[in-house]
Structure 1
Amino acid sequence: MSFNLDLLLRENIKNLQAYSSARDEFDGEASVMLDANENAYGSPISQSFNRYPDPLQHAVKQKLSKIKGIAPEHIFLGNGSDEAIDLLFRAFCQPGLDNVILLPPTYGMYEVSANINDVAVRKVNLTPDYQLDIEAIAAAVDGNTKMIFICSPNNPTGNSIRRQDIETVLVNFDGLVVLDEAYINYAKQTSFLADLKEFPNLVVLQTLSKAWGLAALRLGMAFAHPNIIRVFNKIKPPYNINQATQNFALEALENVEVVNEWIRESVAERTLLVERLQDIPQIEHITPSDANFVLVRLERARELYKYLVQQGIIVRDRSTVTLCEGALRMTIGTPKENQILLTKIKEFYT
C-alpha cells in the first residue's frame, strides 16, 4: 500500500481558508468576553448558555482520551457519526468523478451521503455468511475509488467482520478505509483504535448513541491520523457540538462502570432472547450477533412485523434488504420488553 493523503484530498479543500470563529482566535481564561457579539446579560435557562461553546470540544476529548487510550489529536466529534460520514465525502470525493465501495447489507447512511454529494457507489455484497468478499472488493477498485466503508459489528446483521480480512483491505487499498464500530461495545472482537498508528488510511467511527445511551444528544466520534482529523476540523461548522451536549457528555463519561454494567446485561439478555427464539418452530435462522440486536429470519416476516406494530411493538423490517430476505431486526430490550416480544411472536404463530 502507498497511502498519500494529499492525493486523496480534493483541491478546493486543500486550498480552503477555514472560517475562524471568535473562540478559535482566543484560547484561555478571561473575565470580560466582548469578542463574539454574545448577549452579555446571560440566557433565560442557564448563565453559561449565552456563550458560544468550545469549537473543538477540548474537555470532552480529554475525557474520551483517557477512556479510549488514544491521544486527543486523533479524535473528531460530530453531530452523530452521520456528520463525520458526510465530511468524508465532502473532503475526499470529487462530485461526479470519484466513487466509493459499499458492502451490502450495511448501514444505509453511507449511500444516502454518497448520493447527496454526487459520488458514485459501487456495491460489493457480503458473502452469504456476511463476511467480506476480498476478491470482489479488489476487482471493484479503480483509480477513482476514494473510500471503502466496512461496518463491524455490521448493521443490520449484527456479526463482526473477520479482523484478518479488514487488515487485508487496509494493507492493499490506497484510499481511506472507514470502519464503523458503532456497536463495538457489545462485541467480543477488539476495536481497531489501537491500530491507527499502523494504518494511516484508517478512520474508525464510534458513537455515544448505543452503549452509552445518549442517542438524543447526537454525539458521534471519528478516530484517525491527526492529519485526517485536521481536515475534519477545517471544514466542519464552527460550533458543531452545542454546549448542552458537551456538558451532558462530560457527565456521562464519569459513569463508565454504569455503562459497562448495562453492556453486560444487554449481552446476557441477547443470549437469553436467542435461546428462547430458537424454541419457536417458525424461526428459520438467527445470525450470531456481536451487537445489541439480532437479525432473525422467520416465516411470514412481513405479516409478523405488521402484527407486532398492531400490538405496540416496533422492530425493524429488513425483509427487503439484500441478503436479509424474510428477516426482522430486533433490538435487545429490557427483560420485560424481551418477554413481551417473545409472547407476541408465539401468539402470532399459534
Structure 2
Amino acid sequence: MKGSFNLNALLRDNIKKLVPYSSARDEFKGEASVLLDANENAFGSPYREDFHRYPDPLQHRVKEKLSKIKGVPAANIFLGNGSDEAIDLLYRAFCTPGKDNVILVPPTYGMYEVSANINDVAYRKVNLTPDYQLDLDGIAEAIDSQTKLIFICSPNNPTGNSLNRTDIETILVNFDGLVVVDEAYINFSKQPSFTKDLSEFPNLVILQTLSKAWGLAALRLGMAFASEEIITVFNKIKPPYNINQATQNIVLEALDNVDQVNSWIQEIVAEREKLSATLADIAQVAHITPSDANFILVKLEEPRALYNFLVSKGIIVRDRSKVELCEGCLRLTVGTPAENEELVSAVYTFYGATNN
C-alpha cells in the first residue's frame, strides 16, 4: 500500500466530462408562488397529501436535520435509495468496467460483490482472519495500480464484530484509493463512528442507514458521508429526484424522535446480551461471536436442520452455514423480548434441551 490520494486521478474520464442533468428546480433559487417549469399537474394529487410537485433533488431540509444529529456538515452528506445506491454510484464514478478492481474482505455484506458484477468491475477477495479482523498483509498484496475501492463493513455483517480501528486507519493512510467504511450497525456499537474523522482522511467514505436503529427500513434511505468533492461527484451522477417527497416528509418527522431511538438501542443491546447468554448455555451451541450489531452469529450443531425447523414454526433467521469462515452458523437478529423468548424456546425444543 502507498498513500498519495488524488480524487481527480480516481475518477473515470467520462465522469470528469459528464454534464449532469439539470432538473427544473435546479435552475432557480429562492421561493416561488407560480411553478410552471416542470410540467407537473397543477391541480394536485388524487390523495390526501399533495404530491404533484417534484421533491427537493438535494433534500436540503433532511440533510440539515441530519447534520445536527450526526455532527457532520450538510455539504458532506449524500442521501440515497438505501446505502445500495451509494455503493453503486461508487462503482460507476470511480471504476472503469473491465479495467479497474476493488478489494472485498469476506465474510461481508453481499451487495459489494453484486454491484461489482453489475458494473463489470473485478473484485479481489482478502478473507478476514479467523477472528474476523482485517488481513493487512493480504490486502497490501492484493492492491495494484487499478485498485480503486476497498470496502470495509464495521460492525461487520454477518459476523457482528467491529474491526480494529487502527487497522482501518492504516489502510486510510497508506491506500491512494477510496476506503468505504460501512457503518450500518454503528448505533449498536460502543466504537466511535468514523464521521468525526472526515477532515483527516480525504479518501474516506462512510455509509450509514436509517433502516436499522431508526426502524425505517421500508423507506429505503441510506446516507453517505464524505468530502464535499466526493459528495459533488455523487450528486452529479445520481438520478435527479432520487429521494421521493413522501420519504423526505416521513424522515423529517422521524428525526425529531432521537430519544425514542436511543431508548430502543439500549433495549436492543440489552436483549442482545441476554439472548447470547441464554443460547450459550445450550450444549449444541459451539460459539457466539461477540457482537456490536443488532444480531448475533451463532455456530451450532445441525444449522440447516435447525433453520428448517424454525421456518416450520414461523421463525425466520438467516442461514450463513455455507459462507466461508461462517461454517455451521446462523445469523439471528435481536427481536423484541417476546420474539427472542419464542426463538429460544424453539431452539431448546429442536435440541431436546431443557430451558431453565
Q: How many angstroms apart in 2 are the aligned matches of 1:87 and 1:140?
A: 23
1:330 corresponds to which letter in structure 2? L
The residue that corresponds to 1:21 in the other structure is 23
Aligned partner of 1:290 in structure 2 is 292
Aligned to 1:227: 229
Residue aligning to 1:349: 351
Instruction: Pick from 154, 157, 164 the counterpart of residue 159 of structure 2.
Output: 157
- 1:29 and 1:84 map into 2 onto residues whose CA distance is 30
Q: Does 1:38 align with 2:73?
A: no
Report the CA distance between 1:27 and its aligned residue.
2.3
Counterpart Cα distance in 2 of 1:233 and 1:108 = 25
SS in 1 for 2:260: helix
Which residue is 1:54 aligned to?
56
Q: TM-score, normalised by structure 2?
A: 0.98
Query: For each residue in 1:128-167, what CA deviation from the matched residue of structure 2 results, as whole angstroms up to 9, or x when unmatched?
Result: 0000000000000000000000000000000000000000
Among candidates 202, 205, 215, match of residue 204 of structure 2: 202
State the partner residue of 2:279: 277
1:95 is matched with: 97
Q: Provide the C-alpha distance between the structure 1 equivalents of 2:246 and 2:253, rounded to a whole number of angstroms.
A: 11
* Regions of 4+ moved over 3 Å: none
Partner Cα separation in structure 1 for residue 159 and residue 150 of structure 2 = 18
Secondary structure in 1 matching 2:50: helix
1:141-290 to structure 2, matched below 5 A, reads: 141-290=143-292
Distance across 2 between alignment mates of 1:27 and 1:127:
52
**3-state SS of the aligned residue for 1:110?**
helix
User: Helix, strand or coil for the counterpart of 2:132?
Assistant: coil
What is the one-letter code of the residue matched to 1:278?
A
Counterpart residue identity of residue 246, structure 1: Q
Structure 1: tracts of 5 or more residues without a match:
none
Once residues 293 and 158 of structure 2 are traced to their aligned partners in structure 1, the CA distance between those partners, rounded to angstroms, is 9
- After the TM superposition, which residues 122-137 of structure 1 pair with which residues of structure 2 at under 5 Å, given as runs? 122-137=124-139
- Is 1:115 paired with 2:105? no
CA deviations over 1:1-25 (Å, ceiling 9, x no partner) = 2100010000000000000000111
Looking at structure 2, the residues matched to 285 and 47 of structure 1 have their Cα atoms a distance apart, in angstroms, of 51
Match in the other structure for 1:82 = 84
1:46: Cα distance to partner? 3.9
Query: Hey, what's the Cα distance between the residues in 1 that align with 2:49 and 2:226?
Result: 35
- The AA in structure 2 aligned to 1:221 is M
Give the letter for the 1:333 counterpart: G
Aligned to 1:69: 71
- Alignment partner for residue 11 of structure 1, among 13, 17, 32? 13
Amino-acid identity (%): 74
Q: Distance in 2 between matches of 1:38 and 1:333?
A: 43
Equivalent in 297, 301, 304 of residue 303 of structure 2: 301
AA aligned to 1:208 is L
Residues 241-285 of structure 1 deviation map (CA, whole Å, 9 limit, x = unaligned)? 000000000000000000000000000000100110011110000
User: 2:312 aligns to what?
Assistant: 310
CA distance in 2, matches of 1:136, 1:238: 40
Letter in 1 for 2:139: I
TM superposition shift of 1:47 = 4.6
C-alpha separation between the residues in 1 aligned to 2:189 and 2:51? 38
CA-based RMSD: 0.5
Per the TM alignment, residue 322 of structure 1 is displaced from its structure 2 partner at its CA by: 1.0
Offset, 1:28: 1.7
Q: Which AA in structure 2 matches 1:223?
A: F
Q: How far off is 1:48 after superposition? A: 2.8
- Give the TM-score of the pair, scaled to structure 1: 0.99
